[in-house]
């Protein structure tokens, strides 16, 4: 059986791979899995549904809500909000589970569905597998009459609840900091600028006018050059670029240089250790993190634990040791004291709080880490599951590792959300990294 769920929920081209019928069945199956033991419920089960502003979200929202209600679950639709807001609200409203409809950084035609358990936590593989298995046993007939769920179409205080949570999480006065915010015409468009202004920052918002079709289009964290241009144009102290569902944050310093997720984790880890908030002096990163992060943290006597790629796996490692900071190079940064998942707006607030506390520029703070040359090539493939078993690919990897001879590293892995195979090479020399990565990518493409 082909696994329906990827590293971040069910994702695909909306209305083809991800259809309303599939969304309906996912809703019904999730209702059965999350609320199967109805005898333990003192009230009717409640689910939260949020989405990003892409056009297919309206259709999928309606389908999932119908599926849930048809199995006796009440639904509270919170509208367009970031993924971390839906996670927070799942807990804040006391819901039994939550649903986010978003394809994150993917192009507008794609969409995705991810679930949160009670408390706003991402699901382990085992629960996702139960939902998929439940879809095969669904009957057409369900409860009737008073046992049907209700669909509440508005939650007027949802956004304010989330903004209040952000304000209480980071209380440092950001007056005097001028920041460009690229909201990717996505879920953060109305939230992130308000959160930063409420903390005292002077905000220049760009790409904050979603129209259902322009999400991630030449903007946001996947097109950070627009943030770089705006920072230089406005003479800002920094820029913050979010993705479509705002669980990511990448930064740009005053000179227009990109500060990626590894550098953000490094500067936050150092600050949290100084303040006694970095539990066991440990940071959780992933196998994709730059070797420079490990070297920098070693100098600061901070242990780095590596997780698989995907913030859900970072979260698992964080939970095992009750650690206080983790994340990915892509800009997913997790601060468990304030969030159950990556939160781009919360990350932005913490970056600026560190600047305000130290009086240092972002460039100064980020200089704690030296980024080694790293090349990442995304290769479109027909079947990403067979690449690593290909003998020519294996031979090419051995040859590349021999050429680097311990001065760098090679990592090949399938994308968890797209039909891509990722080829990553680090080397002491940028040109060598490009050449080795190019050769490996060509072999993968041929395979």
247 is in an annotated binding site: yes
Measure the CA–CA gap between 378 and 412, rounded to whole angstroms. Answer: 10
**Phi first, then psi: what are they for 226, rounded to 5°?**
-70, -35
Residue 315 contacts residue 122 (beta carbons within 8 Å): yes
The strand pair at 333-334 and 326-327 is best described as antiparallel
> Which one of the listed residues 70, 102, 104, 221 is annotated catalytic?
104
Start-to-end CA span in the chain (Å): 24
Of 86, 94, 140, whose CA–CA distance to 119 is shortest?
94
245 is in an annotated binding site: yes
110 is in an annotated binding site: no
Helix, strand, coil shares, percent, the chain, to 5: 40, 20, 40
Measure the CA–CA gap between 318 and 283, rounded to whole angstroms. Answer: 9
Of 50, 24, 86, 65, whose CA–CA distance to 149 is shortest?
65
**Strand locations in 280-401, DSSP E?**
282-286, 303-307, 326-327, 333-334, 374-380
Q: Is 104 designated active site?
A: yes
Query: Within 13 Å and on the Cβ side, how many CA atoms surround 299?
Result: 12
DSSP 332: B
61 is in an annotated binding site: no
Extract the annotated binding site. Answer: 104, 243, 245, 247
Extract the annotated binding site for Mg(2+). Answer: 104, 243, 245, 247
Catalytic positions, please?
A: 104
């Amino acid at each position: 059986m082909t696994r329906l769920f990827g590293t971040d929920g069910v994702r695909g081209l909306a209305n083809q791979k991800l259809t309303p019928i599939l969304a309906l069945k996912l809703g019904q199956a999730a209702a059965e899995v999350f609320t199967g033991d109805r005898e333990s419920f003192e009230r009717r089960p409640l689910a939260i549904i949020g989405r990003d502003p892409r056009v297919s979200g309206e259709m999928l929202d309606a389908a999932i809500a119908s599926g849930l209600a048809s199995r006796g679950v009440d639904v509270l639709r919170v509208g367009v909000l970031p993924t971390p807001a839906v996670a927070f609200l799942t807990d804040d409203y006391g819901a039994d589970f939550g649903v986010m409809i978003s394809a994150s950084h993917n192009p507008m035609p794609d969409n995705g569905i991810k679930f949160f358990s009670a408390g706003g936590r991402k699901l382990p593989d085992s629960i996702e597998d139960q939902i998929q298995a439940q879809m095969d046993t669904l009957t057409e007939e369900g409860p009737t009459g008073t046992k049907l769920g209700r669909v509440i179409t508005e939650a007027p205080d949802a956004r304010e609840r989330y903004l209040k949570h952000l304000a209480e999480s980071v209380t440092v006065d950001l007056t005097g900091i001028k920041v460009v915010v690229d909201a990717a015409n996505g879920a953060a468009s109305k939230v992130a600028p308000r959160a930063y202004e409420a903390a005292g920052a002077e905000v220049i918002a760009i790409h904050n006018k979603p129209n259902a079709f322009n999400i991630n289009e030449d903007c946001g964290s996947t097109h950070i050059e627009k943030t770089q241009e705006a920072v230089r144009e406005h003479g800002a102290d920094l820029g913050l670029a979010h993705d479509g569902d705002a669980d990511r944050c990448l930064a740009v310093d005053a000179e227009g240089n990109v500060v990626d997720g590894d550098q953000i984790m490094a500067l936050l880890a150092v600050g949290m250790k100084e303040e006694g908030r970095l539990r066991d002096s440990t940071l959780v990163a992933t196998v994709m993190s730059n070797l420079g992060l490990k070297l920098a943290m070693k100098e600061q006597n901070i242990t780095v634990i590596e997780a698989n790629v995907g913030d859900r796996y970072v979260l698992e490692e964080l939970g095992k040791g009750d650690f206080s900071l983790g994340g990915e190079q892509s800009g997913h940064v997790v601060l468990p004291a304030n969030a159950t998942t990556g939160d781009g707006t919360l990350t932005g607030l913490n970056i600026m709080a560190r600047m305000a506390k130290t009086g240092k520029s972002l460039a100064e703070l980020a200089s704690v880490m030296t980024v080694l040359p790293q090349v990442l090539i995304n290769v479109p493939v027909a079947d990403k599951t067979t690449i690593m078993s290909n003998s020519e690919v294996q031979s090419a990897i051995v040859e590349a590792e021999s050429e680097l001879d311990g001065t760098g590293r090679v990592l090949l892995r399938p994308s968890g959300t797209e039909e891509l195979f990722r080829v990553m090479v680090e080397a002491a020399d940028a040109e060598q990294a490009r050449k080795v990565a190019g050769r490996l990518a060509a072999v993968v493409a041929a395979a």
